[in-house]
Structure 1
Amino acid sequence: MSLFTLNEVKKTFTIGEVKEEILKGVNLSLREGEVTALVGASGSGKSTLLTIAAGLQSASNGQVIFEGNNLSQMEEEGIRKIRANHFGFIFQFAHLVPFLTVEEQLLLMLDVSESKLKKHEQKSEVNRILQVVGMEHRKQAYPSSLSGGEKQRVAIARAIIHKPKVLFADEPTASLDSKRSKDVMALIREITKTLNITTLVVTHDEEMLVFVDHIIKMSDGLIVQHS
Protein backbone atom coordinates (compact mmCIF):
# COMPACT_ATOMS: atom_id res chain seq x y z
CA MET A 1 0.00 0.00 0.00
CA SER A 2 1.30 3.44 -0.94
CA LEU A 3 1.56 5.62 2.16
CA PHE A 4 3.53 8.50 0.69
CA THR A 5 3.22 10.12 -2.74
CA LEU A 6 5.12 12.98 -4.34
CA ASN A 7 3.54 14.57 -7.41
CA GLU A 8 5.52 16.82 -9.76
CA VAL A 9 7.68 18.13 -6.92
CA LYS A 10 9.93 21.02 -7.90
CA LYS A 11 12.42 23.04 -5.89
CA THR A 12 14.06 26.27 -7.01
CA PHE A 13 16.59 28.30 -5.04
CA THR A 14 17.14 31.97 -5.84
CA ILE A 15 20.50 33.57 -5.11
CA GLY A 16 20.45 37.21 -6.08
CA GLU A 17 19.12 37.25 -9.64
CA VAL A 18 20.13 33.67 -10.33
CA LYS A 19 17.56 30.87 -10.07
CA GLU A 20 18.74 27.28 -9.73
CA GLU A 21 16.22 24.48 -10.22
CA ILE A 22 17.27 21.63 -7.90
CA LEU A 23 14.22 19.40 -8.48
CA LYS A 24 12.52 19.52 -11.86
CA GLY A 25 9.27 17.64 -11.35
CA VAL A 26 9.69 14.44 -9.35
CA ASN A 27 7.00 11.77 -9.01
CA LEU A 28 7.46 9.08 -6.39
CA SER A 29 5.36 6.63 -4.35
CA LEU A 30 6.62 4.92 -1.19
CA ARG A 31 5.07 1.74 0.13
CA GLU A 32 4.68 0.30 3.61
CA GLY A 33 7.19 -2.31 4.69
CA GLU A 34 9.70 -1.37 1.98
CA VAL A 35 13.10 0.32 1.92
CA THR A 36 13.63 2.72 -0.98
CA ALA A 37 17.11 4.09 -1.69
CA LEU A 38 17.84 7.41 -3.39
CA VAL A 39 21.19 7.35 -5.19
CA GLY A 40 23.00 9.74 -7.49
CA ALA A 41 25.96 12.05 -7.78
CA SER A 42 26.46 14.95 -5.40
CA GLY A 43 24.10 17.74 -6.45
CA SER A 44 21.60 15.40 -8.12
CA GLY A 45 18.84 16.48 -5.73
CA LYS A 46 18.47 13.34 -3.61
CA SER A 47 18.96 14.98 -0.19
CA THR A 48 16.72 17.89 -1.19
CA LEU A 49 14.01 15.42 -2.18
CA LEU A 50 14.31 13.62 1.16
CA THR A 51 14.06 16.82 3.20
CA ILE A 52 11.01 17.97 1.23
CA ALA A 53 9.32 14.59 1.69
CA ALA A 54 10.08 14.83 5.41
CA GLY A 55 8.56 18.29 5.71
CA LEU A 56 11.90 19.84 6.68
CA GLN A 57 11.67 22.27 3.78
CA SER A 58 8.88 23.17 1.37
CA ALA A 59 8.61 22.44 -2.33
CA SER A 60 8.41 25.32 -4.79
CA ASN A 61 5.68 23.44 -6.69
CA GLY A 62 3.97 20.09 -6.55
CA GLN A 63 2.34 17.95 -3.87
CA VAL A 64 3.67 15.90 -0.97
CA ILE A 65 0.85 13.59 0.15
CA PHE A 66 1.04 11.64 3.41
CA GLU A 67 -2.03 9.62 4.43
CA GLY A 68 -4.21 11.91 2.32
CA ASN A 69 -2.72 15.09 3.82
CA ASN A 70 -1.05 17.50 1.42
CA LEU A 71 1.98 18.76 3.35
CA SER A 72 2.50 21.40 0.65
CA GLN A 73 -0.67 23.18 1.76
CA MET A 74 -0.40 22.72 5.52
CA GLU A 75 0.62 25.30 8.11
CA GLU A 76 4.00 24.73 9.80
CA GLU A 77 2.38 23.66 13.08
CA GLY A 78 0.46 20.89 11.33
CA ILE A 79 3.61 19.68 9.58
CA ARG A 80 5.52 19.79 12.87
CA LYS A 81 2.95 17.53 14.51
CA ILE A 82 3.17 15.03 11.66
CA ARG A 83 6.98 15.04 11.89
CA ALA A 84 6.91 14.57 15.66
CA ASN A 85 4.30 11.81 15.72
CA HIS A 86 4.67 9.92 12.43
CA PHE A 87 8.21 10.47 11.09
CA GLY A 88 11.53 9.14 12.34
CA PHE A 89 14.94 10.52 11.34
CA ILE A 90 18.44 9.04 11.09
CA PHE A 91 21.34 11.18 9.88
CA GLN A 92 24.99 10.62 8.93
CA PHE A 93 26.01 11.41 12.51
CA ALA A 94 24.01 10.20 15.49
CA HIS A 95 23.61 13.70 17.04
CA LEU A 96 23.07 12.24 20.50
CA VAL A 97 22.75 14.63 23.44
CA PRO A 98 26.16 14.31 25.18
CA PHE A 99 24.89 14.68 28.75
CA LEU A 100 22.03 12.15 28.45
CA THR A 101 22.33 8.39 28.87
CA VAL A 102 21.10 6.05 26.15
CA GLU A 103 17.87 5.49 28.10
CA GLU A 104 17.37 9.23 28.58
CA GLN A 105 17.85 9.90 24.84
CA LEU A 106 14.85 7.69 24.09
CA LEU A 107 12.71 9.02 26.93
CA LEU A 108 13.32 12.54 25.62
CA MET A 109 12.08 11.47 22.17
CA LEU A 110 8.88 10.11 23.73
CA ASP A 111 8.34 13.50 25.38
CA VAL A 112 8.93 15.34 22.09
CA SER A 113 6.46 13.08 20.27
CA GLU A 114 3.83 13.72 22.97
CA SER A 115 3.61 10.04 23.86
CA LYS A 116 0.50 9.00 25.73
CA LEU A 117 2.38 6.26 27.58
CA LYS A 118 2.64 6.57 31.36
CA LYS A 119 6.13 6.94 32.86
CA HIS A 120 6.54 3.28 33.80
CA GLU A 121 5.21 2.28 30.37
CA GLN A 122 7.73 4.56 28.71
CA LYS A 123 10.63 2.84 30.48
CA SER A 124 9.30 -0.57 29.46
CA GLU A 125 9.04 0.59 25.85
CA VAL A 126 12.59 1.96 25.95
CA ASN A 127 13.84 -1.41 27.18
CA ARG A 128 11.94 -3.19 24.42
CA ILE A 129 13.31 -0.96 21.64
CA LEU A 130 16.85 -1.18 22.97
CA GLN A 131 16.53 -4.97 22.82
CA VAL A 132 15.41 -4.66 19.19
CA VAL A 133 18.61 -2.78 18.29
CA GLY A 134 20.85 -4.84 20.59
CA MET A 135 21.70 -2.00 22.97
CA GLU A 136 19.80 -2.90 26.13
CA HIS A 137 23.09 -3.64 27.94
CA ARG A 138 24.25 -0.03 27.31
CA LYS A 139 21.15 1.87 28.40
CA GLN A 140 22.96 3.69 31.23
CA ALA A 141 25.96 4.61 29.03
CA TYR A 142 26.72 8.13 27.83
CA PRO A 143 27.50 8.83 24.14
CA SER A 144 31.20 9.45 24.85
CA SER A 145 31.63 5.78 25.79
CA LEU A 146 29.89 4.39 22.68
CA SER A 147 31.49 3.29 19.42
CA GLY A 148 30.33 4.78 16.11
CA GLY A 149 28.20 1.74 15.35
CA GLU A 150 26.65 1.78 18.83
CA LYS A 151 25.79 5.47 18.47
CA GLN A 152 23.97 4.78 15.20
CA ARG A 153 22.06 1.91 16.81
CA VAL A 154 20.94 4.29 19.54
CA ALA A 155 20.01 6.84 16.86
CA ILE A 156 17.89 4.17 15.14
CA ALA A 157 16.23 3.29 18.46
CA ARG A 158 15.49 6.96 19.04
CA ALA A 159 14.03 7.25 15.54
CA ILE A 160 11.56 4.39 16.05
CA ILE A 161 10.71 4.66 19.77
CA HIS A 162 7.50 6.61 19.02
CA LYS A 163 6.39 4.07 16.37
CA PRO A 164 6.70 6.29 13.28
CA LYS A 165 5.05 5.35 10.02
CA VAL A 166 7.88 6.73 7.89
CA LEU A 167 11.63 6.52 8.52
CA PHE A 168 13.96 8.97 6.74
CA ALA A 169 17.67 8.13 6.70
CA ASP A 170 20.17 10.56 5.14
CA GLU A 171 23.53 8.83 4.58
CA PRO A 172 23.12 6.76 7.79
CA THR A 173 26.32 4.74 7.20
CA ALA A 174 28.62 7.42 5.79
CA SER A 175 30.58 7.80 9.03
CA LEU A 176 31.01 4.04 9.62
CA ASP A 177 33.40 1.37 8.40
CA SER A 178 32.22 -1.36 6.02
CA LYS A 179 31.22 -3.93 8.65
CA ARG A 180 29.36 -1.47 10.87
CA SER A 181 27.68 0.02 7.78
CA LYS A 182 26.30 -3.38 6.80
CA ASP A 183 25.17 -4.04 10.36
CA VAL A 184 23.30 -0.73 10.49
CA MET A 185 21.64 -1.19 7.09
CA ALA A 186 20.65 -4.75 7.95
CA LEU A 187 19.06 -3.40 11.12
CA ILE A 188 17.20 -0.67 9.22
CA ARG A 189 15.84 -3.28 6.81
CA GLU A 190 14.82 -5.64 9.64
CA ILE A 191 13.00 -2.85 11.48
CA THR A 192 11.25 -1.74 8.28
CA LYS A 193 9.92 -5.25 7.71
CA THR A 194 9.11 -6.09 11.34
CA LEU A 195 7.33 -2.81 12.13
CA ASN A 196 5.92 -2.33 8.58
CA ILE A 197 7.52 1.11 8.28
CA THR A 198 7.97 3.06 5.05
CA THR A 199 11.71 3.82 4.79
CA LEU A 200 13.49 6.28 2.47
CA VAL A 201 17.30 6.19 2.50
CA VAL A 202 19.80 8.48 0.79
CA THR A 203 23.12 6.70 0.22
CA HIS A 204 26.19 6.90 -1.98
CA ASP A 205 27.47 3.47 -0.95
CA GLU A 206 26.54 0.83 -3.53
CA GLU A 207 27.33 -1.98 -1.07
CA MET A 208 24.30 -0.89 0.96
CA LEU A 209 21.89 -1.42 -1.93
CA VAL A 210 21.58 -5.17 -1.24
CA PHE A 211 19.50 -4.20 1.81
CA VAL A 212 16.85 -2.18 -0.07
CA ASP A 213 13.72 -3.10 -2.03
CA HIS A 214 13.81 -0.29 -4.58
CA ILE A 215 16.61 1.83 -6.02
CA ILE A 216 15.85 5.27 -7.44
CA LYS A 217 18.66 6.97 -9.32
CA MET A 218 18.59 10.74 -9.61
CA SER A 219 20.47 13.04 -11.96
CA ASP A 220 20.13 16.80 -12.39
CA GLY A 221 16.94 17.00 -10.35
CA LEU A 222 15.10 14.17 -12.08
CA ILE A 223 14.53 10.46 -11.51
CA VAL A 224 16.37 8.70 -14.34
CA GLN A 225 16.04 5.10 -13.16
CA HIS A 226 13.64 3.24 -10.87
CA SER A 227 14.17 -0.43 -10.06
Structure 2
Amino acid sequence: MSIFTMDKVKKSFTNGEVEEEILKGISLTLKEGEITALVGASGSGKSTLLTIAAGLQNASEGKIIFEGENINALNQEQIRKIRAKEFGFVFQFAHLVPFLTVEEQLMLMLDIAESKLVKKDRVREVERILELVEMDHRKTAYPSSLSGGEKQRVAVARAMIHQPKILFADEPTASLDSKRSKDVMTLIRNLTKEQKVTTLMVTHDEEMLTYADHVINMRDGVVFKEESAGVY
Protein backbone atom coordinates (compact mmCIF):
# COMPACT_ATOMS: atom_id res chain seq x y z
CA MET A 1 0.00 0.00 0.00
CA SER A 2 1.29 3.44 -0.92
CA ILE A 3 1.24 6.06 1.84
CA PHE A 4 3.76 8.54 0.44
CA THR A 5 4.14 10.10 -3.01
CA MET A 6 6.10 12.94 -4.53
CA ASP A 7 4.59 14.60 -7.59
CA LYS A 8 6.73 16.72 -9.93
CA VAL A 9 8.90 18.03 -7.10
CA LYS A 10 11.40 20.74 -7.99
CA LYS A 11 13.99 22.53 -5.88
CA SER A 12 15.98 25.59 -6.88
CA PHE A 13 18.60 27.66 -5.07
CA THR A 14 19.79 31.15 -5.88
CA ASN A 15 23.55 31.49 -6.09
CA GLY A 16 24.18 35.19 -6.42
CA GLU A 17 22.18 36.20 -9.48
CA VAL A 18 22.06 32.66 -10.86
CA GLU A 19 19.22 30.27 -10.06
CA GLU A 20 20.35 26.67 -9.89
CA GLU A 21 17.78 23.89 -10.25
CA ILE A 22 18.75 20.92 -8.06
CA LEU A 23 15.63 18.78 -8.53
CA LYS A 24 13.90 18.91 -11.91
CA GLY A 25 10.45 17.45 -11.40
CA ILE A 26 10.82 14.25 -9.37
CA SER A 27 7.86 11.89 -9.01
CA LEU A 28 7.99 8.71 -6.94
CA THR A 29 5.83 6.45 -4.79
CA LEU A 30 6.87 4.69 -1.57
CA LYS A 31 5.11 1.58 -0.29
CA GLU A 32 4.47 0.34 3.22
CA GLY A 33 6.89 -2.30 4.48
CA GLU A 34 9.44 -1.65 1.74
CA ILE A 35 12.87 -0.04 1.50
CA THR A 36 13.51 2.32 -1.39
CA ALA A 37 17.15 3.27 -1.96
CA LEU A 38 18.25 6.49 -3.63
CA VAL A 39 21.60 6.25 -5.39
CA GLY A 40 23.63 8.56 -7.58
CA ALA A 41 26.86 10.49 -7.82
CA SER A 42 27.62 13.44 -5.57
CA GLY A 43 25.52 16.36 -6.76
CA SER A 44 22.79 14.18 -8.27
CA GLY A 45 20.21 15.58 -5.85
CA LYS A 46 19.53 12.46 -3.78
CA SER A 47 20.22 14.02 -0.36
CA THR A 48 18.21 17.11 -1.28
CA LEU A 49 15.33 14.85 -2.29
CA LEU A 50 15.51 13.01 1.04
CA THR A 51 15.49 16.18 3.13
CA ILE A 52 12.53 17.57 1.17
CA ALA A 53 10.63 14.29 1.53
CA ALA A 54 11.30 14.41 5.28
CA GLY A 55 10.00 17.97 5.59
CA LEU A 56 13.41 19.33 6.59
CA GLN A 57 13.21 21.85 3.75
CA ASN A 58 10.46 22.91 1.36
CA ALA A 59 10.21 22.09 -2.32
CA SER A 60 10.12 25.01 -4.73
CA GLU A 61 7.32 23.31 -6.69
CA GLY A 62 5.33 20.10 -6.57
CA LYS A 63 3.40 18.06 -4.05
CA ILE A 64 4.57 15.75 -1.26
CA ILE A 65 1.59 13.64 -0.25
CA PHE A 66 1.68 11.82 3.09
CA GLU A 67 -1.52 10.00 4.02
CA GLY A 68 -3.49 12.13 1.58
CA GLU A 69 -2.14 15.51 2.73
CA ASN A 70 0.30 17.75 0.87
CA ILE A 71 2.92 18.45 3.54
CA ASN A 72 4.65 20.93 1.23
CA ALA A 73 1.65 23.23 1.76
CA LEU A 74 1.73 23.06 5.58
CA ASN A 75 3.30 25.59 7.92
CA GLN A 76 6.48 24.81 9.85
CA GLU A 77 4.73 23.89 13.10
CA GLN A 78 2.42 21.44 11.32
CA ILE A 79 5.39 19.85 9.57
CA ARG A 80 7.33 19.66 12.84
CA LYS A 81 4.52 17.69 14.48
CA ILE A 82 4.39 15.24 11.58
CA ARG A 83 8.18 14.76 11.74
CA ALA A 84 8.06 14.17 15.49
CA LYS A 85 5.17 11.70 15.48
CA GLU A 86 5.22 9.99 12.11
CA PHE A 87 8.83 10.07 10.85
CA GLY A 88 12.02 8.44 12.08
CA PHE A 89 15.57 9.46 11.15
CA VAL A 90 18.92 7.66 10.94
CA PHE A 91 21.96 9.56 9.70
CA GLN A 92 25.57 8.73 8.85
CA PHE A 93 26.57 9.44 12.46
CA ALA A 94 24.44 8.46 15.44
CA HIS A 95 24.22 11.96 16.98
CA LEU A 96 23.42 10.55 20.41
CA VAL A 97 23.04 12.94 23.34
CA PRO A 98 26.34 12.50 25.24
CA PHE A 99 24.92 12.90 28.76
CA LEU A 100 22.02 10.44 28.31
CA THR A 101 22.19 6.68 28.72
CA VAL A 102 21.01 4.37 25.94
CA GLU A 103 17.68 3.91 27.72
CA GLU A 104 17.27 7.65 28.24
CA GLN A 105 17.94 8.37 24.55
CA LEU A 106 14.85 6.32 23.66
CA MET A 107 12.72 7.78 26.46
CA LEU A 108 13.55 11.26 25.15
CA MET A 109 12.35 10.27 21.68
CA LEU A 110 9.03 9.11 23.14
CA ASP A 111 8.69 12.53 24.81
CA ILE A 112 9.44 14.34 21.54
CA ALA A 113 6.88 12.19 19.72
CA GLU A 114 4.33 12.99 22.45
CA SER A 115 3.73 9.30 23.01
CA LYS A 116 0.48 8.46 24.78
CA LEU A 117 2.06 5.46 26.51
CA VAL A 118 2.09 5.58 30.31
CA LYS A 119 5.47 5.24 32.05
CA LYS A 120 5.39 1.46 32.63
CA ASP A 121 4.43 0.85 28.99
CA ARG A 122 7.22 3.16 27.84
CA VAL A 123 9.69 1.12 29.86
CA ARG A 124 8.40 -2.10 28.28
CA GLU A 125 8.61 -0.64 24.78
CA VAL A 126 12.17 0.56 25.34
CA GLU A 127 13.15 -2.89 26.60
CA ARG A 128 11.43 -4.54 23.62
CA ILE A 129 13.20 -2.54 20.95
CA LEU A 130 16.58 -2.69 22.71
CA GLU A 131 16.26 -6.47 22.67
CA LEU A 132 15.46 -6.35 18.93
CA VAL A 133 18.64 -4.39 18.22
CA GLU A 134 20.60 -6.50 20.73
CA MET A 135 21.47 -3.56 22.95
CA ASP A 136 19.40 -4.39 26.04
CA HIS A 137 22.59 -5.32 27.93
CA ARG A 138 23.91 -1.78 27.34
CA LYS A 139 20.82 0.21 28.32
CA THR A 140 22.59 2.03 31.17
CA ALA A 141 25.69 2.84 29.09
CA TYR A 142 26.61 6.32 27.88
CA PRO A 143 27.56 7.01 24.23
CA SER A 144 31.24 7.50 25.09
CA SER A 145 31.52 3.82 26.03
CA LEU A 146 29.83 2.48 22.88
CA SER A 147 31.51 1.35 19.66
CA GLY A 148 30.52 2.87 16.32
CA GLY A 149 28.32 -0.08 15.50
CA GLU A 150 26.64 0.02 18.90
CA LYS A 151 25.93 3.73 18.56
CA GLN A 152 24.29 3.17 15.20
CA ARG A 153 22.17 0.34 16.63
CA VAL A 154 20.95 2.73 19.31
CA ALA A 155 20.27 5.34 16.61
CA VAL A 156 18.11 2.82 14.73
CA ALA A 157 16.25 1.93 17.94
CA ARG A 158 15.71 5.62 18.69
CA ALA A 159 14.37 6.21 15.17
CA MET A 160 11.87 3.34 15.53
CA ILE A 161 10.86 3.53 19.20
CA HIS A 162 7.76 5.66 18.52
CA GLN A 163 6.72 3.36 15.65
CA PRO A 164 6.96 5.92 12.85
CA LYS A 165 5.23 5.35 9.55
CA ILE A 166 8.24 6.49 7.52
CA LEU A 167 11.95 6.02 8.20
CA PHE A 168 14.42 8.32 6.48
CA ALA A 169 17.98 6.99 6.43
CA ASP A 170 20.77 9.19 5.05
CA GLU A 171 23.94 7.13 4.47
CA PRO A 172 23.25 5.06 7.63
CA THR A 173 26.26 2.79 7.12
CA ALA A 174 28.81 5.23 5.69
CA SER A 175 30.79 5.50 8.94
CA LEU A 176 30.88 1.73 9.58
CA ASP A 177 33.03 -1.16 8.40
CA SER A 178 31.60 -3.90 6.19
CA LYS A 179 30.42 -6.22 8.96
CA ARG A 180 28.80 -3.50 11.04
CA SER A 181 27.21 -2.06 7.90
CA LYS A 182 25.54 -5.40 7.20
CA ASP A 183 24.42 -5.68 10.82
CA VAL A 184 22.81 -2.23 10.75
CA MET A 185 21.12 -2.83 7.38
CA THR A 186 19.77 -6.17 8.60
CA LEU A 187 18.27 -4.31 11.56
CA ILE A 188 16.72 -1.65 9.35
CA ARG A 189 15.31 -4.24 6.98
CA ASN A 190 13.89 -6.42 9.76
CA LEU A 191 12.27 -3.48 11.55
CA THR A 192 10.89 -2.16 8.25
CA LYS A 193 9.15 -5.47 7.66
CA GLU A 194 8.07 -6.18 11.24
CA GLN A 195 6.66 -2.71 11.93
CA LYS A 196 5.41 -2.18 8.34
CA VAL A 197 7.43 1.00 7.99
CA THR A 198 8.05 2.81 4.72
CA THR A 199 11.81 3.39 4.42
CA LEU A 200 13.60 5.84 2.12
CA MET A 201 17.38 5.51 2.21
CA VAL A 202 20.24 7.35 0.56
CA THR A 203 23.37 5.25 0.06
CA HIS A 204 26.50 5.16 -2.07
CA ASP A 205 27.36 1.59 -1.07
CA GLU A 206 26.19 -0.85 -3.75
CA GLU A 207 26.35 -3.76 -1.29
CA MET A 208 23.59 -2.12 0.74
CA LEU A 209 21.26 -2.17 -2.26
CA THR A 210 20.69 -5.89 -1.75
CA TYR A 211 18.67 -4.99 1.35
CA ALA A 212 16.34 -2.71 -0.63
CA ASP A 213 13.10 -3.56 -2.43
CA HIS A 214 13.47 -0.77 -4.98
CA VAL A 215 16.37 1.32 -6.24
CA ILE A 216 15.99 4.81 -7.71
CA ASN A 217 19.00 6.02 -9.67
CA MET A 218 19.40 9.79 -9.86
CA ARG A 219 21.52 11.94 -12.13
CA ASP A 220 21.58 15.74 -12.40
CA GLY A 221 18.33 16.19 -10.48
CA VAL A 222 16.24 13.64 -12.36
CA VAL A 223 15.39 9.95 -12.02
CA PHE A 224 17.01 8.15 -14.95
CA LYS A 225 16.36 4.58 -13.85
CA GLU A 226 14.09 2.83 -11.36
CA GLU A 227 14.33 -0.89 -10.69
CA SER A 228 13.58 -3.68 -8.29
CA ALA A 229 16.55 -4.69 -6.16
CA GLY A 230 18.06 -8.06 -5.35
CA VAL A 231 16.36 -8.37 -2.00
CA TYR A 232 18.52 -9.76 0.81
Q: Is the aligned partner of 1:113 residue 2:113? A: yes
Q: Which residue of 1 aligns with 2:29?
A: 29
Q: Which residue of 2 aligns with 1:156?
A: 156
Provide the C-alpha distance between the structure 1 equivalents of 2:178 and 2:132, rounded to a whole number of angstroms: 22
- SS of the counterpart of 1:41? coil
The structural deviation recorded for 1:123 is: 1.0
Provide the C-alpha distance between the structure 1 equivalents of 2:138 and 2:169, rounded to a whole number of angstroms: 23
Gaps in structure 1 of 5+ consecutive residues: none
Superposition pairs of residues 1-227 of structure 1, within 5 angstroms = 1-227=1-227
The structural deviation recorded for 1:94 is: 0.1
- SS of the counterpart of 2:167? strand
Provide the C-alpha distance between the structure 1 equivalents of 2:218 and 2:103, rounded to a whole number of angstroms: 38
Provide the C-alpha distance between the structure 2 equivalents of 1:190 and 1:212, rounded to a whole number of angstroms: 11
Provide the C-alpha distance between the structure 1 equivalents of 2:6 and 2:121, rounded to a whole number of angstroms: 36
Provide the C-alpha distance between the structure 2 equivalents of 1:223 and 1:89, rounded to a whole number of angstroms: 23
Provide the C-alpha distance between the structure 1 equivalents of 2:208 and 2:32, rounded to a whole number of angstroms: 20
Provide the C-alpha distance between the structure 2 equivalents of 1:178 and 1:101, rounded to a whole number of angstroms: 27
Deviations 1:140-191 (A, max 9, x none): 0000110101000000000000010000000000000011001111111111
The structural deviation recorded for 1:8 is: 0.2
Provide the C-alpha distance between the structure 2 equivalents of 1:200 and 1:152, rounded to a whole number of angstroms: 17
- SS of the counterpart of 1:164? coil
- SS of the counterpart of 2:93? coil
- SS of the counterpart of 2:140? coil
The structural deviation recorded for 1:121 is: 1.3
Provide the C-alpha distance between the structure 1 equivalents of 2:65 and 2:214, rounded to a whole number of angstroms: 20
Instruction: Give the aligned residue type for 1:176.
Output: L
Gaps in structure 2 of 5+ consecutive residues: 228-232
Provide the C-alpha distance between the structure 2 equivalents of 1:73 and 1:192, rounded to a whole number of angstroms: 28
Provide the C-alpha distance between the structure 2 equivalents of 1:72 and 1:115, rounded to a whole number of angstroms: 25
The structural deviation recorded for 1:18 is: 1.1
- Deviation beyond 4 Å, 4+ runs, structure 1: none
Aligned length: 227
The structural deviation recorded for 1:120 is: 1.5
Percent of aligned pairs sharing the same letter: 71
What is the alpha-carbon root mean square deviation over aligned residues?
A: 0.5
